[in-house]
Structure 1
Amino acid sequence: MAQKQVTPEILAANPLSLSSTVVHTKEDVILSGEKTIQTQGDNMPAYYARPKNASSALPIVIVIQEIFGVNEHIRELCHRLAGQGYLAIAPELYFRHGDPQSYSDIETLLNEVVAKVPDAEVLADLDHVASWASRHGGDAHRLMVTGFCWGGRIAWLYAAHNPQLKAAAAWYGKLIARKTLNSPHHPVDIATHLNAPVLGLYGEQDASIPMDSIEMMRQALRAANATAEIIVYPDAGHAFNADYRPSYHAESAQDGWQRMLEWFARFGTSNRSET
């Protein structure tokens, strides 16, 4: 029997840690595992990570998945945030519609699962994630969000949705797209409604997010007088932070990660609650 070829699409949906670029966090300094969060009458699976031996409520970062769900890469990002002192929680936001890691190609996954997920459903689920985190060791006054690809777009939307959010970091999330019943608004439409400062991290070589859409978003943000910054990395393409995929661009990813941590420290953790 011929061996099945491991294409970038299959690897993305089912990361096997085959790449030497994959970053791993020392797990002896964190606690992590699976949780279930009640939301809108359903039980949503989620993955969490937090530092060990925390003596007070932790700043919260909700980590929003790529289209591939809460895979090994997203769990590792939670570990990295926990290593920086955050309670990181990554919810399975497609759980009502299908298992993204069971698909072997991107087009089928997009059509059969991703396109069926309403933005309104996702934003409501994220509210329940924030509430859960605040009751399980997190500080509701230091709530942040970051998202990647599909999740990057959602991070922009959530910054306009939740007035309690303190900061957001959106990694290569689409800014302009065709409107549908499930996705009636896109980031460029909600620039005037942002409740929190947003850091956008993009690659100039990303064919799916052209530079003119980034410039349109910048103009919308300036017109709204919003606290936001968009960084564009000249040598990076789409998914440049995905260290298990061929798209990974280490220099841009490392710089973006540091900028995100600085953004969170500046806007997200400065108003610490007395808990």
Structure 2
Amino acid sequence: MSVTTQWIEIDSPEGKFGAYLAIPHTQKGPGIVLIQEIFGVNEHIRSVVEQYAADGYLVIAPDLFWRSGPRIELSYDEAGWKKAVELMNATDVGKAQDDIKLTIEALKAQPGLDGGIASIGYCFGGMLSYNTAANGLVDVAVSYYGGGIQNQLDRADQIDVPFLMHFGEADSHIPLEAVEQIAERFDSNDNVEIVVYPEAEHGFNCSHRDSYNQRAAAEAHGNTLIFLGQEL
């Protein structure tokens, strides 16, 4: 299935920022705001945007590092990691959430939007997807190995939309104790589902990383599509 892709510009009070938009072959479908890792809207993130567009969704990924420089793309080598951490630490999370809100508004303005909107975030973006759901901006939310969610459980009661979290059992950045803490906090919330993938490391969905786990990535993608199909 062919998809149409382009960079668009979104207006904000501080200036314009870019967002990578993919439209499915049908030209219509539900929406997804896809939230980057700390490596920018790089080749991997763009490929994931296109993957979900091929699945029939209108997908948009905002460039959340634009205040440090437009369309920064980093690789997963040592230099890329160092720069990515610097950019993450320099990012105002509140302003990033404002950018996501504006991106959702831009997605709502797309003529082909037909249905609700989900947020799907990876790593740093997984935490932002959690906050996007808590802010009531989307109809459903998905988080892949969302770093720091365990430190924001004071917002748990604000999650009142269907929310799917993916974690790797062997994640060296998010210990299982943190996942268990999150699971315990959401135990009574039937809207929240948590899946832990055996032997999967942090970044298991990213085929550009050494930590890529094909089986976990395939299962998580399938679980996400079923979840979106049921809830969106």
- For normalisation by structure 1, the TM-score amounts to 0.78
* Counterpart pick for 1:101 among 70, 73, 83: 73
SS in 1 for 2:73: helix
Alignment CA distance shift 1:105-1:261 (3 Å): same
Matched residue type, 1:109? A
Q: Post-superposition shift, 1:164?
A: 4.4
| CA contact 1:168–1:196 (8 Å) conserved in 2 | yes
5 Å matches for 1:202-241?
A: 202-223=167-188, 225=189, 227-241=191-205
Q: Gaps spanning 5+ residues in structure 1: where?
A: 1-25, 178-185, 269-275
CA distance in 1, matches of 2:115, 2:134: 17
Matched residue type, 1:105? G
Q: State yes or no: 1:116 paired with 2:90.
A: yes
SS in 1 for 2:53: helix
* Percent of aligned pairs sharing the same letter: 29
In the alignment of these two chains, the number of paired residues is 228
| CA contact 1:175–1:188 (8 Å) conserved in 2 | no
Q: Gaps spanning 5+ residues in structure 2: where?
A: none
SS in 1 for 2:33: strand
- For normalisation by structure 2, the TM-score amounts to 0.91
CA distance in 1, matches of 2:229, 2:107: 19
Q: State yes or no: 1:62 paired with 2:33.
A: yes
SS in 2 for 1:236: coil
Q: Deviations over 1:12-64 (max 9, x none)?
A: xxxxxxxxxxxxxx6xx11111111112341111111111342xx52110010
SS in 2 for 1:222: coil
Runs of 4+ in 1 over 2 A off after TM superposition: 97-105, 137-141, 186-189
Across the aligned residues of Structure 1 and Structure 2, the Cα RMSD in angstroms comes to 1.9
Matched residue type, 1:250? Q
| CA contact 2:30–2:116 (8 Å) conserved in 1 | yes
Q: Post-superposition shift, 1:260?
A: 0.5
5 Å matches for 1:15-164?
A: 29-54=2-27, 57-98=28-69, 100-101=72-73, 104-111=79-86, 113-139=87-113, 142-161=116-135, 163-164=136-137
Matched residue type, 1:145? S
CA distance in 1, matches of 2:50, 2:19: 14
Of structures 1 and 2, the larger Rg is shown by: 1
CA distance in 2, matches of 1:116, 1:176: 19
CA distance in 2, matches of 1:156, 1:102: 24
Q: Post-superposition shift, 1:138?
A: 4.7
Alignment CA distance shift 1:238-1:41 (3 Å): same
Q: Which residue of structure 2 lines up, in the alignment, with residue 174 of structure 1?
A: 147
Q: Post-superposition shift, 1:196?
A: 1.6
CA distance in 1, matches of 2:34, 2:187: 27
Q: Post-superposition shift, 1:197?
A: 1.2
Q: Post-superposition shift, 1:231?
A: 0.5
CA distance in 2, matches of 1:190, 1:168: 14
Matched residue type, 2:122? F
| CA contact 1:199–1:229 (8 Å) conserved in 2 | yes
| CA contact 2:130–2:149 (8 Å) conserved in 1 | no
SS in 2 for 1:155: helix
CA distance in 1, matches of 2:160, 2:9: 28
SS in 1 for 2:182: helix
